[in-house]
Amino acid sequence: MPDTSRDLIFPAPIFHEKIWGGRKLATDFGYEIPDGPIGECWAISAHPNGDCVVSGGAWDGMHLSELWDQHRELFGNVEGDRFPLLVKIIDAKDHLSVQVHPDDAYAAEHENGSLGKRECWYVLAVDPGTKIVIGQRAHDRAELAQMIEEGRWDDMLNLVPCHVGDFFPIEPGTVHAIQGGTLILETQQSSDVTYRVYDYDRVQDDGSTRELHIQQSLDVVDYGMEAPASGEVTAPEVDGVTELMECPNFVVDRVRVSGEKNVEQEWPFLCVSVIEGSGTVSASEAGVTHEIARGTHFLAPAGCGTMAFAGDMTLVTSRLP
């Protein structure tokens, strides 16, 4: 008999206003978003700063954090005090701040037990000629501190060309900044810790500037990191699947569906984002067919069985390693 408790889980997205945000989450994705510059759609999140509520199905109305705490069987009974991943879409109308994230050890000690923030970007749309900041050129803490003090941003920052379909891993300790005119899907650890190095001297509506975190940034920058020259995906595609990144926190794949495609859900859970196209999906153990399209995000829980996709779509999936 079908079991709706094993059906796919569809969280309702949460939207965050940002000084650099735009309106593409409405115009390009069709989301109903609040007024103002909306920079982020937290699509799959149980973080306290954006805890998604399940829409429909057996778990309708529950927060994702509640499902994690009360129904760990949906997540393969994996250990951990919090849901470990966060999937978001970022609409950068203007430049994001130049920033860097800590690793788990630094964040646990200095940020009230938070996780660190390893993340990665899949470029969904970008204005012609736009570049992206990944990496910096200082050799050590003293040189970086001097560059920041003197405002030598052109000397310090490494800019990389940015194209639709590019993929950029952002390890803890990497200086980075998304530039205006870029729309990306971000997969990351469930953390909201960001250290700003530079914010273009922007002034907020109340006349204030946003806080910078220079000392923390100097602490956590990886001075030996080799900056990438390109975000081109060179990994092979096997049966429609391309592995984009495998790291200690997550595995991210791109999956192409052309016609019909079955995907075995053999992991504790799988996060799925439809980034192009439309069609349907059903989980064999639940017996429910769902219409999905660009901008749909869902969780495939443990025990949902085989996911049967039909249509023409591109997906980005993430899971624990």
> Tens digits of per-residue pLDDT, 35-68?
999 999 999 999 999 999 999 999 999 999 999 9
Find the mean pLDDT for residues 121-136: 97
Look up residue 4 and give its DSSP letter. G
Residue 250, pLDDT score: 98
Cβ contacts of 115 within 8 Å, gap of 6 or more: 82, 84, 104, 107, 108, 189, 190, 191, 193
Lowest-pLDDT range of 78-82, 108-112, 205-209, 294-298: 205-209
In the annotation, is 196 catalytic? yes
Q: Are strands 50-51 and 131-136 parallel, antiparallel or unpaired?
A: unpaired
Which tens digits make up the pLDDT trace of 28-37?
999 999 999 9
Residue 108, pLDDT score: 97
Query: Among residues 118, 196, 254, 319, which one is catalytic?
Result: 196
Residue 205, pLDDT score: 87
Find the mean pLDDT for residues 213-237: 97
In the beta sheet, which residues pair with residue 243? 253
Read off the amino acid at residue 246.
E
Distances (CA, A) of 177 to 121, 266, 314: 11, 35, 26
pLDDT band at 316 (very low <50, low <70, confident <90, very high): very high
Question: What is the SS3 assignment for 21?
Answer: strand
* Lookup result for tokens 């109308």: 93
For residue 67 the two structure tokens come to 């499902």
Read off the amino acid at residue 201.
D
Which tens digits make up the pLDDT trace of 258-277?
999 999 999 999 999 999 99
In the chain, % of residues over pLDDT 90: 98
pLDDT at 146 over 90: yes
pLDDT band at 2 (very low <50, low <70, confident <90, very high): confident
Which tens digits make up the pLDDT trace of 5-31?
999 999 999 999 999 999 999 999 999
Residue 155, pLDDT score: 97
Q: What are the φ/ψ torsions at residue 114 (nearest 5 degrees)?
A: -65, 155
Residue 136, pLDDT score: 97
Give the separation between CA 217 and CA 310, rounded to whole angstroms.
46
Flag whether the pTM goes above 0.95.
Answer: yes
Read off the amino acid at residue 20.
W
pLDDT band at 252 (very low <50, low <70, confident <90, very high): very high
Question: What is the SS3 assignment for 6?
Answer: helix
Residue 18, pLDDT score: 96
pLDDT at 1 over 90: no
Give the separation between CA 245 and CA 108, rounded to whole angstroms.
24
User: What domains appear along the chain, each with residue ranges and CATH number?
Assistant: 4-220 (2.60.120.10), 237-319 (2.60.120.10)
3-state helix, strand, coil in the chain (%, to 5): 15, 40, 45
For residue 290 the two structure tokens come to 């769902």
Cβ contacts of 174 within 8 Å, gap of 6 or more: 100, 101, 134, 135, 222, 225
Read off the amino acid at residue 119.
E
What is the average pLDDT score of the chain?
97
